[in-house]
């Protein structure tokens, strides 16, 4: 184990080299690519386990020196990093194995695995980074991998558009992060966590608040929180296993991780904390209601992810960052599971529209069982893992901000409702499918079973996790847990009933239909953004292009060019071809020069 | 008296003689080979004199930075003759071009090394006569006409030179040494010295083709054989530029230095005229001729700078290499495509027909523009930087603007070679002959040298490169 304990950088280096190997020999690897790539996540898991047991390996390399200050590349595999490494490694390994079956017909098979490896490396780098500069580099790299994988089917216009949108929207957050880094650099002279988060806490309240808000905006962008959540539903254009890895379990949770990592900064900035709480609560409740109205199985899960991340942000907002990490871990398990199961369903039934499914439980029993395990965990029904972590989130929020706690309880009822609705629509009732579905091969079911087990039993990991992170979780309160269970069961029943055949699509009243349509479109946030942000920005850009670039710059440049050419034409007249004229010109020149010399020296 | 200072010129003259003798025997290949070998030996001898101390003669100077320009003249002559070897050894007039090229290189070297106005006069006249001959060897009626017109103007320049010499001689009381002129200029600023200096500069400006003594250049370069034009444009320019520097050094350092502003005026006019006129040209050689007027203007920017004027020598050598490459390129283009009409538009599709030539063309044009990573950048950078710290900032600004305009025509050649489509369909695929391969190789080698000279100072810094060039 010692090499794993003392060489945490291998978690980045191994998958990175594998990605390079795969990329170089695209034609060489063929069907062998997954087995090569799999070594990456396995290394990450190994490093995670070793670091969790033996404690952090750390190192630093000075990168850029500016006067007395320097920018270093550093890492530190502490407990938080180790937990995240385990999450990243396990989910990435499951996704890679699952994809052997899911992606086997695809053209870009090796490219896919190269990108997954690169993502694994970047994500591992992100979690073990011990300074904001290193973290930011990896932060951008995971964003780039997300862009490339959403646009995996780049010849499909909708996929290319979705990739661009995801990249652009998260850029907003990235820009804020750069500003935050500049603020911290100016105030403390470095970006290392030991410096900016140290016990000295040398920041004035205004500086801490400014930096924390900037970092919060970055996290909001990456973790798809209101109002920067609009990219995530469209990111579902990518392959489904990618959605499981990047857009459910790991990258989107990076925002939560970032805030947990820089927690001392937020401890000094109450305004930023309150903002996180408000945004998280709005997102949790709003996204859950949108998920209830979706018809596409992946869109349901996408909105559910946004909503669950909202829970985590709310927990961060009240200071319970360890609880947020606990929910991050369980969520990675059950949401990764749900996405992979959805992949299996899409693979087996050939559709991702809930209206064309139904009765799949009979044809795909293992898939159905795994989905139900995930759904139970998502709905927060004991003894599944989701129950424990969500209960901790709700109770810690209730203590500090009762209004938010109540909103989260409502959101968990909605969560149970959309989970039940999707379950019934997909797996129960009469079959509405055109082609008969078939169960997935074992290479795909294996990862599902592993993740299903995790989604059911990870609840017991709460205690050890808390002690690893240096805290203890409060014991379950009977009142809160009881209320949550009752609400979850009520939600389940209501959701189940709403999913009667025909009921969902032919509801009676006009008002209800309008309401459902508004919910299905994400409460119009996307339309608002495109109307009041995108349109004005493009219009301004167009105006600048027309006025500034074409009229002023081009006009000036072309005008000068035309003038020069005109003068040149005049000057070539001097070249008459007449020898006497040339000699005369020369003599005149000499006379003028001599006159100038006499005048200069006189 | 040591023979060593005169060895380079002796080698140059010997090259011409050997070429003529072999030509008489009808062995043109040996004529070319012998001339190249002797010119190279002359360049080596000149470079060697640069390392030997205690040679400083009076009438013909050598040693240190005095040896840079002579060595460059002879080396450029050898390079051009070697690069165009195939056409020079097959053409009927080839050996005569070789002989006159060797004499051009040798007399240009002597122009640079002269320390006496009398020697300078003889060398400049020799250089001019070789030039008339080289143009006349173009063989066409237009070439002979161009040579004739140049000769007529040249006689005006000769008269100007003689008057200038007489004025100076009268003032110094017989001596024509630069040292005597410098002593005179330092003692008292007076009109005769200034007039004499300006008349000599005007005569050199005629050889250089600076405005308003430029009129012979376009016709001469266009009608001469490319090899001849290459020698005139490279080796033929370096010598007079060095002479202008030494003359200016002689008369500066005293109140008489105000007169060097005349050179700044010539530089300004040349830059403006050369660049604007080049914009309108369709023929590649003619465009290179007009742009050569502007290039001479850039070089003259550095002449009035006194002790900093040695930057002109660096510019001249780097420009000489690029100019030689550009006319050897013209030769290569004629040989690869016999149907090429010599226009810039006719280069369309070159990147497909001959990627190596197209890439070399791009390198050469970028170097002439003065884009970083090429040799041309460092020459311009040095001259303009020294000018702006030496009290001629306005001139440096004009020169930089001129360089910007110059990309209008240099870039047009690159665009034609790489972007424009061929107007008429496929050119017939001719088998690549030995001669094409040789001249293409020469162009590619010169381009590689240009890039190398542009890149190496980035690694070593400018100091070691300068110390190597100007001791």
Structure tokens at A301: 């899960």
Residue A87: partners with Cβ closer than 8 Å, 6 or more residues away: A249, A250, A253, A328, A329, A332
Residue A54: partners with Cβ closer than 8 Å, 6 or more residues away: A1, A5
Cross-strand pairs, B283: B343
pLDDT tens for each residue of A163-193: 888 888 888 889 999 999 888 888 887 788 8
Give dist(CA A353, CA A345) in Å, integer: 10
- In chain B, which residue's Cα lies nearest the Cα of A578? B149
A154 to chain B, closest Cα gap in Å: 29
pLDDT tens for each residue of A370-391: 999 999 999 888 888 888 898 8
- In chain A, which residue's Cα lies nearest the Cα of B264? A593
Flag the least confident range among A75-79, A431-435, B271-275.
A431-435
- Give the model's pLDDT for residue A6: 75
**Cis before A383? omega within 30:** yes
The C-alpha R_g of chain A, in whole angstroms, comes to 30
- Give the model's pLDDT for residue B288: 93
Other Cβ atoms within 10 Å of A32 Cβ, number: 13
Rounded to the nearest 5 degrees, what angle is found at the Cα of A43, between the Cα atoms of A39 and A46?
A: 140
Confidence of residue A501 (pLDDT cuts 50, 70, 90): low
Residues of B in contact with A565 (CB under 8 A): 279-280
* pLDDT tens-place values along chain B, 471 residues long: 577 888 899 999 999 999 999 988 888 888 999 999 999 999 999 888 877 766 667 778 877 778 889 999 999 999 999 988 888 888 888 889 999 999 999 999 999 999 899 999 999 999 999 999 999 998 888 999 899 889 988 888 999 999 999 998 888 888 888 888 888 888 776 788 888 889 999 999 999 999 888 888 888 998 999 999 999 999 999 999 999 998 888 887 544 567 888 899 999 999 999 998 888 888 999 999 999 999 999 999 988 887 778 889 999 999 999 999 999 999 898 888 888 888 888 888 888 888 889 999 999 999 999 998 899 999 999 899 888 888 889 999 999 999 988 998 999 899 888 887 765 555 555 545 556 788 888 899 999 999 998 888 877 767 766 665 555
Strands A58-66 vs A69-76: parallel, antiparallel or unpaired: antiparallel
Give the rounded percent of residues in chain A with a pLDDT score beyond 70.
Answer: 95
Give dist(CA B365, CA B269) in Å, integer: 22
Q: Which of B192, B273, B280 to mutate to test the interface with A (most CBs of A within 10 A)?
A: B280
Q: Do B212 and A586 touch (CB under 8 A)?
A: yes
Q: Do A568 and B212 touch (CB under 8 A)?
A: no
Q: What is the DSSP letter of B433?
A: P
Q: How crowded is the C-beta side of A498, counted as CA atoms within 13 Å?
A: 21
Rounded to the nearest 5 degrees, what angle is found at the Cα of A593, between the Cα atoms of A588 and A599?
A: 130
Flag the least confident range among A81-90, A125-134, A346-355, B195-204.
A346-355
Does position A502 have pLDDT exceeding 60, yes or no?
A: no
CA dihedral A419, A421, A425, A427 (to 10 degrees): 40
More confident residue, B264 or A599: B264
Flag the least confident range among A322-326, A550-554, B359-363, B446-450.
A550-554
Closest CA to B285 of B113, B142, B458: B142
pLDDT tens for each residue of A223-243: 888 888 888 888 888 888 888
Residues of A in contact with B278 (CB under 8 A): 568
State the burial class of residue B51 (Cβ atoms within 10 Å of its Cβ: 0-12, 13-18, 19+): exposed
Closest CA to A449 of A370, A504, A502: A370
Q: Residue by residue, what is the 3-state secondary structure of B355-417?
A: HHHHHHHHHHHHHHHCCCCCHHHHHHHHHHHHHHHCCCHHHHHHHHHHHHHHHHHHHHHHHHH
- Give the model's pLDDT for residue B323: 94
Q: Which of B279, B281, B409, B410 to mutate to test the interface with A (most CBs of A within 10 A)?
A: B279
Report whether A87 contacts A124 (CB < 8 A): no
What SS3 class is residue A383?
coil
Residue A516: partners with Cβ closer than 8 Å, 6 or more residues away: A293, A507
- Give the model's pLDDT for residue A11: 85
DSSP B49-100: HHH-SS---SSB--SGGGGHHHHHHHHHHHHHHHHTHHHHHHSTTHHHHHHH
Structure tokens at A39: 């070594």
CA dihedral B248, B250, B256, B262 (to 10 degrees): -10
Cross-strand pairs, A64: A71
Give dist(CA A412, CA A388) in Å, integer: 13
- Give the model's pLDDT for residue B109: 94
- In chain A, which residue's Cα lies nearest the Cα of B407? A561
Does position A572 have pLDDT exceeding 80, yes or no?
A: no
Report whether B179 contacts A582 (CB < 8 A): no
Give dist(CA B285, CA B269) in Å, integer: 21
Residues of A in contact with B156 (CB under 8 A): 583, 586-587, 590
Does position A508 have pLDDT exceeding 70, yes or no?
A: no
Q: Which of B194, B269, B406 to mutate to test the interface with A (most CBs of A within 10 A)?
A: B194
Computed from CA positions of residues A345, A347, A348, A353, in that sequence, does the dihedral angle turn out positive or negative? positive
A541 to chain B, closest Cα gap in Å: 29
More confident residue, A559 or A418: A418
Residue A175: partners with Cβ closer than 8 Å, 6 or more residues away: none
Q: Do B206 and A597 touch (CB under 8 A)?
A: no
Backbone φ/ψ region at B334: left (φ over 0), alpha (ψ -120 to 50), beta: alpha
Report whether A164 contacts A171 (CB < 8 A): no
What count of residues does chain B have? 471
State the burial class of residue B38 (Cβ atoms within 10 Å of its Cβ: 0-12, 13-18, 19+): buried
Give dist(CA B101, CA A127) in Å, integer: 71
**Chain B residues with a Cβ under 8 Å from any Cβ in chain A:** 148-149, 152-153, 156-157, 160, 189-191, 193-195, 197-199, 201-202, 206, 211-213, 215-216, 218-219, 255-256, 258-259, 261-262, 265-266, 273, 275-280, 405, 408
Flag the least confident range among A65-69, A414-418, B436-440.
A65-69
Q: Do B277 and A588 touch (CB under 8 A)?
A: no
Report whether A15 contacts A120 (CB < 8 A): yes
Residue B335: partners with Cβ closer than 8 Å, 6 or more residues away: B86, B87, B435, B436, B439
Q: Do A564 and B279 touch (CB under 8 A)?
A: yes
- Give the model's pLDDT for residue B53: 67
Q: Do A596 and B265 touch (CB under 8 A)?
A: yes
- Give the model's pLDDT for residue B255: 44
What SS3 class is residue B280?
coil
Residue A434: partners with Cβ closer than 8 Å, 6 or more residues away: A350, A351, A356
B61 to chain A, closest Cα gap in Å: 28
Q: Which of B153, B158, B402, B411 to mutate to test the interface with A (most CBs of A within 10 A)?
A: B153
Closest Cβ–Cβ partner in B191, B216, B278 for A602: B191
The C-alpha R_g of chain B, in whole angstroms, comes to 21
Give dist(CA A597, CA B259) in Å, integer: 5
Confidence of residue A199 (pLDDT cuts 50, 70, 90): low
Report whether B243 contacts B313 (CB < 8 A): no
């Amino acid at each position: 184990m010692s090499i794993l304990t003392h060489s945490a950088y291998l978690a980045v280096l191994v998958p990175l080299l594998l990605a390079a190997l795969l990329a170089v020999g695209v034609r060489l690897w063929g069907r062998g690519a997954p087995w090569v790539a799999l070594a990456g996540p396995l290394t990450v898991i190994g490093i995670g386990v070793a670091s969790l047991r033996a404690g952090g390996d750390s190192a630093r390399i000075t990168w850029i020196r500016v006067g007395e200050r320097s920018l270093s590349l550093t890492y530190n595999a502490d407990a938080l990093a180790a937990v995240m490494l385990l999450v990243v490694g396990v989910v990435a390994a499951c996704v890679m194995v699952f994809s052997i079956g899911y992606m086997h017909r695809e053209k870009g098979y090796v490219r896919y695995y190269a990108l997954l490896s690169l993502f694994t490396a970047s994500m591992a780098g992100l979690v073990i980074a011990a300074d904001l500069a290193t973290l930011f580099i990896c932060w951008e790299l995971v964003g780039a991998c997300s862009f490339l994988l959403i646009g995996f089917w780049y010849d499909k216009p909708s996929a290319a558009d979705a990739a661009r949108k995801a990249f652009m929207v998260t850029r907003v957050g990235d820009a804020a992060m750069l500003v935050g880094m500049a603020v911290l650099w100016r105030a403390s002279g470095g970006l290392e966590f030991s410096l900016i988060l140290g016990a000295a806490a040398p920041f004035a309240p205004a500086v801490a608040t400014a930096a924390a808000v900037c970092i919060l905006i970055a996290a909001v962008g990456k973790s798809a929180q209101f109002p920067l959540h609009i990219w995530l539903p469209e990111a579902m254009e990518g392959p489904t296993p990618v959605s499981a890895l990047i857009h459910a379990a790991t990258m989107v949770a990076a925002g939560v991780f970032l805030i947990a990592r820089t927690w001392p900064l937020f401890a000094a900035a109450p305004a930023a904390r309150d903002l996180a709480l408000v945004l998280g609560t709005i997102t949790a409740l709003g996204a859950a209601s949108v998920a209830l109205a979706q018809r596409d199985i992946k869109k349901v899960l996408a909105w559910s992810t946004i909503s669950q991340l909202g829970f985590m942000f709310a927990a961060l907002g009240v200071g319970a960052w360890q609880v947020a990490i606990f929910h991050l871990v369980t969520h990675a398990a059950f949401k990764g599971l749900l996405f992979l199961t959805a992949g299996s369903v899409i693979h087996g039934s050939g559709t991702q529209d809930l209206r064309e499914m139904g009765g799949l439980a009979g044809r795909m029993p293992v898939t159905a069982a795994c989905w139900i395990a995930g759904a139970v965990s998502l709905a927060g029904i004991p003894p599944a893992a989701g129950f424990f972590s969500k209960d901790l989130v709700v109770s810690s929020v209730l203590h500090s901000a009762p209004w938010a706690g109540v909103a989260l309880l409502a959101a968990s009822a909605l969560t149970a409702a959309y989970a039940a609705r999707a379950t019934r629509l997909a797996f129960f009732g009469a079959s509405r499918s055109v082609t008969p579905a078939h169960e997935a091969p074992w290479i795909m079911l294996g990862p599902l079973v592993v993740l299903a087990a995790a989604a059911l039993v990870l609840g017991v990991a709460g205690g050890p996790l808390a002690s690893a992170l240096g805290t203890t979780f409060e014991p379950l309160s009977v009142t809160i847990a009881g209320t949550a269970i009752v609400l979850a069961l009520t939600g389940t029943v209501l959701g189940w009933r709403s999913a009667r055949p025909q009921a969902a699509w032919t509801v009676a009243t006009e008002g209800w239909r309008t309401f459902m349509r508004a919910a299905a479109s994400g409460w119009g946030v996307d339309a608002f953004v495109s109307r009041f942000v995108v349109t004005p920005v493009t219009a301004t850009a167009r105006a600048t292009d027309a006025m500034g670039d074409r009229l002023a710059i081009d006009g000036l440049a072309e005008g000068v060019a035309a003038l020069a050419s005109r003068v040149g034409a005049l000057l070539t007249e001097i070249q008459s071809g007449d020898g006497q004229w040339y000699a005369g010109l020369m003599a005149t020149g000499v006379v003028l020069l001599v006159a100038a010399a006499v005048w200069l020296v006189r | 008296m040591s023979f060593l200072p005169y060895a380079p010129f002796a080698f140059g003259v010997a090259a011409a003689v050997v070429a003529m003798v072999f030509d008489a025997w009808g062995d043109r290949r040996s004529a070319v080979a012998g001339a190249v070998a002797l010119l190279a030996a002359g360049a080596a001898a000149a470079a060697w004199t640069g390392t030997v101390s205690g040679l400083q003669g009076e009438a013909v100077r050598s040693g240190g930075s005095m040896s840079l320009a002579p060595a460059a003249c002879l080396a450029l002559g050898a390079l051009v003759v070697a690069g165009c070897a195939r056409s020079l050894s097959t053409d009927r007039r080839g050996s005569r071009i070789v002989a006159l090229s060797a004499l051009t290189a040798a007399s240009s070297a002597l122009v640079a090394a002269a320390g006496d106005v009398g020697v300078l006069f003889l060398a400049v006249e020799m250089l001019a006569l070789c030039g008339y001959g080289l143009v006349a060897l173009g063989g066409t009626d237009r070439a002979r006409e161009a040579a004739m017109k140049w000769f007529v103007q040249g006689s005006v320049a000769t008269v100007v030179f003689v008057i200038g010499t007489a004025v100076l001689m009268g003032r110094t009381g017989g001596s024509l040494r630069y040292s005597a002129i410098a002593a005179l200029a330092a003692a008292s600023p007076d009109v005769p010295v200034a007039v004499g200096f300006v008349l000599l500069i005007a005569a050199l400006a005629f050889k250089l083709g600076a405005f308003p003594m430029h009129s012979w250049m376009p016709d001469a370069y266009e009608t001469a054989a490319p090899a001849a034009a290459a020698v005139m444009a490279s080796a033929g320019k370096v010598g007079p530029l060095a002479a202008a520097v030494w003359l200016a050094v002689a008369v500066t350092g005293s109140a008489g230095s105000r007169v060097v502003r005349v050179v700044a005026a010539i530089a300004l006019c040349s830059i403006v005229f050369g660049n604007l006129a080049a914009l309108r040209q369709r023929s590649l050689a003619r465009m290179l001729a007009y742009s050569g007027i502007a290039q001479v203007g850039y070089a003259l920017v550095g002449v009035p700078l006194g002790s900093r004027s040695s930057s002109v020598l660096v510019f001249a050598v780097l420009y000489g290499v690029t100019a030689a490459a550009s006319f050897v390129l013209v030769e290569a283009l004629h040989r690869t495509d016999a149907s090429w009409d010599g226009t810039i538009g006719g280069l369309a599709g070159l990147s497909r027909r001959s990627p190596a030539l197209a890439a070399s063309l791009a390198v050469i044009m970028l170097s002439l523009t003065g884009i970083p990573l090429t040799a041309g950048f460092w020459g311009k950078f040095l001259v303009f930087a020294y000018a702006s710290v030496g009290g001629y900032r306005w001139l440096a600004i004009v020169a930089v603007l001129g360089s910007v305009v110059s990309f209008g025509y240099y870039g047009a050649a690159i665009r034609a070679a790489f972007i424009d489509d061929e107007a008429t369909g496929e050119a017939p695929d001719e088998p690549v002959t030995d001669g094409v391969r040789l001249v293409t190789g020469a162009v590619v080698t010169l381009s590689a040298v240009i890039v190398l000279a542009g890149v190496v100072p980035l690694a070593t810094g400018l100091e070691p490169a300068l110390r190597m060039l100007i001791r």
